[in-house]
Structure 1
Amino acid sequence: MERDVRIIGVPMDLGADRRGVDMGPSAIRYAGLADAVEALGTNCTDAGDVQVPRPEEMDPDAGAPADGDAKFLAETEAVCTKLAHEIGETVAAGEFPLILGGDHSIAIGTANGISHSRETGIVWFDAHGDFNTPATTPSGNVHGMSLAALLGKGEFADSGWALAPNVPEENVALVGLRSVDEGERENIRESDVTAYTMTDIDDRGVTDVVEEALQIASDGTDGVHVSLDLDWLDPTEAPGVGTPERGGVSYREAHASMELVAECLADSDRLTSLELVEVNPILDQHNQTAELAVELAASALGKVIL
């Protein structure tokens, strides 16, 4: 990593039913993120947190669309707009944004900030598709709509804040799906994104799948954003997540994947940004998941064994 790294926290839990992921940025910092980045020989600055309103002070249905369900949508828009602006400033300063969630709805802001000035592919490591819309969601939780939102699906098509300006759908790859709602299954099938399930990883091996996903995201784009939801890992490895799902990748598979990110995008300008989301310290064991997030970030940024 040749560029200086700027850590940006987004203590957001408006997009999820379960409280606690708002403490994720603090937990990851406490696990030694800045030290791990600086150990790679990279300067690291912590820009603090984007301000997020308290859900107790808000009406979750105030900004919902006329047709469909999307809780705290107006507040999510405000936070993501601020995040996009801060990421834009980070990129303009020649720094690398390392974003800490919070729930996965923050990815809407991240994608808008990163892709504002260049065409960007995305590799989305997640147990869930996050491809619901207000019309298809069974819960109304925006963290389950974030990828659909930044690609302008459904009710987000005419949004002035959610649709990322330069993220081609065909340059988006989802890796490790194992829990997909019925409505979003159809949304994914009808889209131009590429989706790999855990069955694909079982059949082909994680390195083959991740290499292909990185090729898809980087084909013809100016760079690749990596969005890593810690529930991508099996709960035995990452117990402290908002929505755990059994049957995820192992510790070693996750590290191998992040090492491939560093290897395939070795030119620091090709990896545009890294996002770590859905760490929930309330559900964690001795900050195990936050510590794992730090390890995986280091691997993605170029840490090697020898």
Structure 2
Amino acid sequence: MTRTVRVVGAPTDYGANRRGVDMGPSAIRYAGLAEQLERADVTVVDDGDVRAPRAEERDPEAELPASGRAKFLRETREVVTALADRVGGALEADELPLVLGGDHSVAIGSVTGSARDAEIGVVWFDAHGDFNTPETSPSGNVHGMPLAAILGVGEFADIEWANAAGLSEDNVAIVGLRDVDETERAAIAESDVTTFTMSDIDERGIANVADDALDVAAAGTDGVHVSLDLDWLDPREAPGVGTPVRGGVTYREAHAALEAVAERDCLRSMELVEVNPILDERNETATLATELASSALGTQIL
């Protein structure tokens, strides 16, 4: 039976200083997402976008954590709560939800929705750890905090809407780390999250690293959520991202990792985030995002 993929956009840029990622969902769709996914022999249903008021219309300090700083926390809560309902609804209808960000804070909603009535694991493809909290964040930007939020780290332990997924650190793998804040580094080291840096990929190869990451995420779970930040790739491959960092994975390595996801047949939900068309070149990054999603869903050369 042909699988149905439900596409949901979350056009936010609350989580970052650099504007433009709110246009990511439109750019990815324009790059031919539906056509790429159909190559994987799936039926595509586009559910539109969750409502995300423009940042200029809102006060970034309107809702603050008990301690520390997290800008646009109210707006993030509104978007991720609505997104979780969309993702959960897609799964109830036996569809695979594919979320288009927006900044990476939308992952809070994607993972929460995916984890309803299920035990899930997460593979987090990213240059960054996203493990800051309002107390440790140097910027107060929530796109540097979503994984900490989902796992209830620090101040997020008392923010119920952020850590509602019940995700176990034992089933989380971060792949491709190369830019981590000092306070973040300590928190990750103290956690039970599994990490694979770019050095690990260089030394062991992407195939081995991807397999190990999927082992971690799939162990004892009902499925795997893939969170793909396009800054995971080297900026020469993906120039249009929110926070580019040199030294990322290549085009071919990225496809190999997502092909490994397809081979496992464990994908429950997925998101593509941090595409910034303002910084892109001929919509290359958005086009690459569509190709990688198609690889994760099983597109084959032969």
- Contact 2:40 2:300 (C-alpha < 8 Å) held by counterparts: no
Residue 164 of structure 1 and its aligned partner are, at CA, apart by 3.4
- Contact 1:152 1:162 (C-alpha < 8 Å) held by counterparts: yes
In structure 1, distance between residues paired with 2:242 and 2:165 = 29
Residue 166 of structure 1 and its aligned partner are, at CA, apart by 3.3
Residue 54 of structure 1 and its aligned partner are, at CA, apart by 1.0
Q: Which residue of 2 aligns with 1:133?
A: 133
Note the 1:225-304 alignment, pairs <5 A. Answer: 225-264=225-264, 266=265, 270-304=266-300
- Contact 1:170 1:193 (C-alpha < 8 Å) held by counterparts: yes
Q: Which residue of 1 aligns with 2:179?
A: 179
Q: Which residue of 1 aligns with 2:71?
A: 71
CA-based RMSD: 1.0
In structure 1, distance between residues paired with 2:251 and 2:39 = 21
The share of aligned pairs that are identical, in percent, is 65
Residue 235 of structure 1 and its aligned partner are, at CA, apart by 0.1
In structure 1, distance between residues paired with 2:85 and 2:278 = 30
In structure 2, distance between residues paired with 1:298 and 1:241 = 19
Q: Secondary structure of the residue that 1:283 maps to in structure 2?
A: coil
- Contact 2:130 2:143 (C-alpha < 8 Å) held by counterparts: yes
Query: Structure 1 residue 51 and structure 2 residue 47: aligned?
Result: no
In structure 2, distance between residues paired with 1:207 and 1:181 = 27
In structure 2, distance between residues paired with 1:195 and 1:54 = 34
Residue 2 of structure 1 and its aligned partner are, at CA, apart by 4.1
- Contact 1:118 1:166 (C-alpha < 8 Å) held by counterparts: no
Q: Which residue of 2 aligns with 1:35?
A: 35
Q: Which residue of 2 aligns with 1:208?
A: 208
In structure 2, distance between residues paired with 1:164 and 1:259 = 30
In structure 2, distance between residues paired with 1:28 and 1:82 = 21
In structure 2, distance between residues paired with 1:130 and 1:104 = 9
**Residue ranges of structure 1 left out of the alignment (5+ in a row):** none
Q: Which residue of 1 aligns with 2:301?
A: 305
Q: Secondary structure of the residue that 1:213 maps to in structure 2?
A: helix
After TM superposition, the score normalised by the length of structure 2 is 0.98
In structure 2, distance between residues paired with 1:232 and 1:220 = 27
In structure 1, distance between residues paired with 2:2 and 2:53 = 35
- Contact 2:127 2:231 (C-alpha < 8 Å) held by counterparts: yes
Residue 174 of structure 1 and its aligned partner are, at CA, apart by 0.1
- Contact 1:116 1:166 (C-alpha < 8 Å) held by counterparts: no
Q: Which residue of 2 aligns with 1:148?
A: 148
- Contact 1:174 1:195 (C-alpha < 8 Å) held by counterparts: yes
Tell me which stretches of 4 or more aligned residues in structure 1 moved more than 2 Å: none
Note the 1:64-103 alignment, pairs <5 A. Answer: 64-103=64-103
> AA paired with 2:244?
P
In structure 1, distance between residues paired with 2:278 and 2:189 = 35
- Contact 1:175 1:196 (C-alpha < 8 Å) held by counterparts: yes
The count of corresponding residues between Structure 1 and Structure 2 is 302
- Contact 2:121 2:217 (C-alpha < 8 Å) held by counterparts: yes
- Contact 2:233 2:248 (C-alpha < 8 Å) held by counterparts: yes
Q: Which residue of 1 aligns with 2:224?
A: 224
